[in-house]
Structure 1
Amino acid sequence: MSQSVPPSGNPFAEGAPQPPYPAAPAPAPAPASAPARNNLGLGLVAALVAALVAGGVYGGIAGAIDRQIGWAAIGVGFLVGFASGKVGGSNPVLPVASAALSLGAVYVGQLLAIAIIIGKELNVSATDVLFENFDVVTKVWGESKDLMTFLFFALAAFAAFSGAKKSAE
């Protein structure tokens, strides 16, 4: 039986035959940057959906605790702006539209809160109060509005505008 014997001498010495190694792979190209989003239609739809959801949640919370919360109005605005900027991109219309939609969301939320409060007092459904007695709900809102009401509107609009700008970057 014969055994193979390793070659004598230093295999790493200069001039020694080197085994064929594959060449190092070329570095991978840098990934392409994400395409710029600039879809006004989708941004507006996202802002509208976010406004409806956030306004409903805002109204539900405010109605459940019988008071408005400033940070919740800021959250409504930021959510609307964030959604429009993330989906729609950096279109300059989106921050303005987000601010306007957040005003509507806070208003609808306040009306919903009033309907919930009235519904709890009268032992009826808040949706019945809101849809069957909308004139009463808006009259109560008009009589109860104060400086804080408009401050909440301003905070929501500012948060929506800045949220749309920041999320589009």
Structure 2
Amino acid sequence: MSQNVTPPAPDSFTAAPAPAPARTGNLGLGVVAAVVAALVAAGAYGGIMNAIDREIGYAAIGVGLLVGLAAGKIGGRNPILPAVAALLSLGAVYLGQLFFIALVLADYGKVGVGEVFSEVGFGGLADLWKEGMDFMSYVFLAIGGAAAFSAAKKMGD
């Protein structure tokens, strides 16, 4: 007993719904958000280091996460944003370390941080930073950059 089964006509199939449009986001807004987050994170990182009187890797991860989340959430899926976030995070960790040095000098000299920046200057703080660099300082820079890259990439997806 063979059954005669007729396949349905081609026009009787229901078309699949169109995929959701890819979210490309806004590169400019993502970069602006990442810059603002980097500046805020740098200040917080320097303040935290001053409060506990040492560098900690978890804070560098926090800097990277904050910068990456801001870039990815606001900027969307743009493939350039993870790299931009990583670079801005490196800068934020560096600025945070400079701010920490300025805070230490201000405490030591019993002066304001503004006075340290005006007297020592950015170049002088950078020279002090170079003298105090060790292997772990570079590790913290790398950790912050990697966290920012990863966070921006995941938020953009």
2:146 to 158, 161, 164: 158
Q: What does the per-residue CA deviation read over 1:105-124, in whole Å, with 9 as the maximum and x for residues that have no partner?
A: 00000000000011101100
Distance 1:139-1:105 versus aligned 2 partners, 3 A rule: same
Show the counterpart of 2:68: 81
User: Normalization by structure 1: what TM-score?
Assistant: 0.77
Instruction: Measure, in 1, the Cα distance between the counterparts of 2:48 and 2:119.
Output: 22
Show the counterpart of 1:149: 137
Between Structure 1 and Structure 2, the one with more helix by share is: 2
Q: How many residues align?
A: 139
State which drifts further: 136-145 or 43-52: 136-145
Task: Tell me, yes or no, if the aligned pair for 1:64 and 1:113 is still in contact at 8 Å.
Answer: no
User: Normalization by structure 2: what TM-score?
Assistant: 0.83
Give the fraction of aligned pairs with identical amino acids, expressed as a percent. Answer: 52
Measured after TM superposition, the shift of residue 130 of structure 1 is 2.2
Where does the alignment leave 5 or more consecutive residues of structure 2 unmatched?
1-18
Taking the TM superposition and a 5 Å limit, the aligned residue runs for 1:59-74 are 59-74=46-61
State which drifts further: 39-48 or 124-133: 124-133
Show the counterpart of 1:111: 98
Instruction: Measure, in 2, the Cα distance between the counterparts of 1:154 and 1:111.
Output: 17
Instruction: Measure, in 2, the Cα distance between the counterparts of 1:132 and 1:87.
Output: 38
Aligned partner of residue 43 in structure 1, secondary structure: helix
Instruction: Measure, in 2, the Cα distance between the counterparts of 1:100 and 1:146.
Output: 20
Higher relative contact order (CA 8 A, sep 6+): 2
Instruction: Measure, in 1, the Cα distance between the counterparts of 2:50 and 2:21.
Output: 42
Letter in 2 for 1:94: L
Q: What does the per-residue CA deviation read over 1:72-98, in whole Å, with 9 as the maximum and x for residues that have no partner?
A: 001001110010000000101100000
Show the counterpart of 1:58: 45
Instruction: Measure, in 2, the Cα distance between the counterparts of 1:152 and 1:47.
Output: 19
Aligned partner of residue 133 in structure 1, secondary structure: helix
Measured after TM superposition, the shift of residue 46 of structure 1 is 0.4
Instruction: Measure, in 2, the Cα distance between the counterparts of 1:78 and 1:98.
Output: 9
Q: Quick check: which has more Rg, 1 or 2?
A: 1
Instruction: Measure, in 2, the Cα distance between the counterparts of 1:102 and 1:158.
Output: 9
Taking the TM superposition and a 5 Å limit, the aligned residue runs for 1:27-66 are 36-66=23-53
Task: Tell me, yes or no, if the aligned pair for 1:98 and 1:160 is still in contact at 8 Å.
Answer: yes
State which drifts further: 130-139 or 42-51: 130-139
